[in-house]
Structure formats: C-alpha cells, structure tokens
Amino acid sequence: MPRKDKPPIRVSKPYELVERAPSVAEFIALRSDAGWHLPNQKIAGAALNKALYSIVAISEGTVVGCARIVGDGLYLYLQDVIVKSASRRCGIGTALVRRCMDVTASIAPPNSGCLVVLMAAPELQRFYSRFGFKLAPENLSFMLIQRT
Ligand SMILES: CC(C)(COP(=O)(O)OP(=O)(O)OC[C@H]1O[C@@H](n2cnc3c(N)ncnc32)[C@H](O)[C@@H]1OP(=O)(O)O)[C@@H](O)C(=O)NCCC(=O)NCCS
C-alpha cells in the first residue's frame, strides 16, 4: 500500500522583531524572494524612509520578514507584508501583522473614522480575517496603475 505523504513539519528558527525599516537591499531581497516586481532602488530608498511605521523580523542575522504602514493617519495602508519563503508558516507573518495592527489601533482608534486597508491575494483572506479585515463590499472595485 502506498504511504500517504505527510506535510513536512516546520521548525521555527529563533527570530526577533525590530522596529526599523528594511534597507533597500533587504527590501529588494524579500520582494524578489516573493516573486514581486522590483521597484526602482532610488525611489524605494526614499519611500522606505517615509513609512509611518516599519518592522522587520531577523533570524540568524538576516532579515527574513518585513511589514510597513503607510498613510496619513486618516487612511492607513498595511503594505509589504513579506516573509522569506524558507521562513514561512512559523508564525512570523502573524507576529509582524499583529504588531502593525497594535500600531494602527494607536494611530486610528475605534470611532476615529479612519480606514485601514490592504491589498492581498484571495488565498490570504483567512489569514487577514484573523486581524479583523473584511473583504471590501462588492460595489467597490480595486483599481491601480502599475508603472513597471
Ligand atoms: C502571507 C505571508 C506574509 C504569511 O507569512 P507566514 O510567516 O507564513 O504566516 P504565519 O506563519 O503567521 O501563518 C499563519 C497562518 O496564516 C495562514 N497562511 C499563511 N500564509 C498563507 C498562504 N500563503 N495561503 C493561505 N494561508 C496562509 C495559515 O493558516 C497559517 O497557519 P498554518 O501554518 O497553521 O496553516 C507569507 O506567506 C508571504 O510572505 N507571502 C508572500 C507575500 C505576500 O503575499 N504577502 C501578503 C501581501 S498583503
């Protein structure tokens, strides 16, 4: 009888969360690992310094994850939530988003009328619903211009 393949057990390596922006090189490395488009490095460098809040996860001296909040206090966007593929499914993404949600709650408390927004692939709906995100109503569509 063929044995059913069991999913591999992931063992989390120790990591720490550090409240700082990723460097351009770290950011590009994470985006590249995730298969995301790579921005112009000069523009990325300037943008990374403008975030309202940034956090990185570091394991064995290397940045293995990041998350950023950009916005103006009325609108807050959770951006660039990325965990390096080799470090996924160990709770790092949850820890990064949880910390960002604490920060959004302090910038945009309940009844403030602020909007916390993110863009995510459909399969991450469950992941983000754990933090209170809901799908946008059907009468809203997401529109963008990507200047690649
Ligand atoms: C999304 C992402 C940040 C999650 O990071 P992570 O460290 O793997 O997340 P966690 O280990 O905290 O995952 C917690 C739970 O979320 C869910 N989850 C995580 N990644 C998922 C995925 N890609 N698809 C479906 N569910 C997922 C799982 O239920 C997981 O629990 P489990 O391991 O017990 O099944 C990571 O997969 C990633 O960097 N993906 C590529 C970039 C991306 O899409 N970023 C989000 C853009 S908004």
Ligand 1, atom 30, lies closest to the CA of 89
pTM, 2 dp? 0.92
C-alpha distance from residue 98 to each of 24, 67, 75 (Å)? 24, 10, 18
Residue 6's pLDDT band, with cuts at 50, 70 and 90, is low
Ligand 1: residue of 15, 70, 83, 90 to mutate (most ligand atoms within 8 A of CB) is 83
Distance CA 17, CA 70 (A): 19
What value does the CA radius of gyration of the chain take, rounded to a whole number of Å? 17
Give tens-digit pLDDT for 87-113.
Answer: 999 999 999 999 999 999 999 998 999
Q: What CATH number does domain 16-129 carry, 3.40.1190.20, 3.40.605.10, 3.40.630.30, 3.30.70.920?
A: 3.40.630.30
Distance 98 CA to ligand 1 centre (A): 13
Residue boundaries of the structural domains of the chain: 16-129
Distance CA 96, CA 17 (A): 8
Distance CA 123, CA 121 (A): 6
**Residues flanking ligand 1, CB < 6 Å:** 34, 81-83, 88-94, 118-121, 123-124, 127
